[in-house]
């Protein structure tokens, strides 16, 4: 029973990690037209350039699922503390993604999170599907 309580105590962290990854994918779709120019990760830039935004988003989605499964499997081990490190990294990523977007696009009067909360539709002008 004690082990089950430890596993459940990590569930909110894993859930938030997943939400931040979904937010990241959402921003990739919304800013698809100029993500290549603003992407900081060299591997991501390569994938976008060589495969396109569609496959980039598909790969990000797939890796999100993998990360979630790995985190859940870590709850059964003594290495479950790694989940907190992933959570911390994802929280920093969230802050970076949410507040860096304002600096990238001067036309934004709201952060991407504000747009979601207020239900403001962002039109990237990119035909994704």
- 83 contact partners, CB below 8 Å, separation of at least 6: 10, 13, 14, 17, 71, 74, 75
Angle at 79 between CA 73 and CA 84, to 5 degrees: 85
pLDDT at residue 93, as a whole number? 86
Closest among 83, 102, 89 to 20, alpha carbons compared: 89
Residue 49 Rama label (left phi>0; alpha psi -120 to 50; beta):
alpha
Entry pTM: 0.77
Query: Please, which pLDDT band fits residue 58 given cuts at 50, 70 and 90?
Result: very high
Whether the per-residue pLDDT at 13 is higher than 90: the answer is yes
pLDDT in tens, 114-126: 766 776 565 555 5
Q: What is the distance between the alpha carbons of residues 68 and 120, in angstroms, rounded to a whole number?
A: 29
Q: What share of the chain in percent tops pLDDT 90?
A: 36
- Residue that wins the pLDDT comparison between 57 and 102: 57
Cα torsion for 15, 18, 19, 20, to the nearest 10°? Answer: 120
pLDDT in tens, 29-51: 877 877 888 777 888 889 989 99
pLDDT at residue 120, as a whole number? 58
């Amino acid at each position: 029973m004690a082990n089950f309580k430890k596993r459940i105590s990590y569930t909110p962290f894993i859930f938030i990690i997943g939400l931040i990854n979904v937010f990241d994918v959402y921003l990739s779709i919304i800013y698809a037209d100029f993500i290549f120019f603003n992407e900081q990760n060299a591997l991501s830039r390569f994938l976008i350039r060589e495969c396109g935004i569609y496959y980039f988003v598909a790969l990000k989605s797939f890796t999100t699922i993998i990360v979630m499964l790995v985190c859940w499997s870590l709850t059964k081990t003594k290495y479950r503390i790694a989940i907190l490190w992933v959570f911390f990294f994802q929280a920093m990523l969230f802050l970076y993604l949410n507040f860096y977007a304002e600096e990238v696009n001067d036309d934004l009067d709201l952060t991407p999170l504000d747009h979601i909360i207020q239900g403001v539709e962002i039109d990237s002008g990119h035909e994704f599907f």
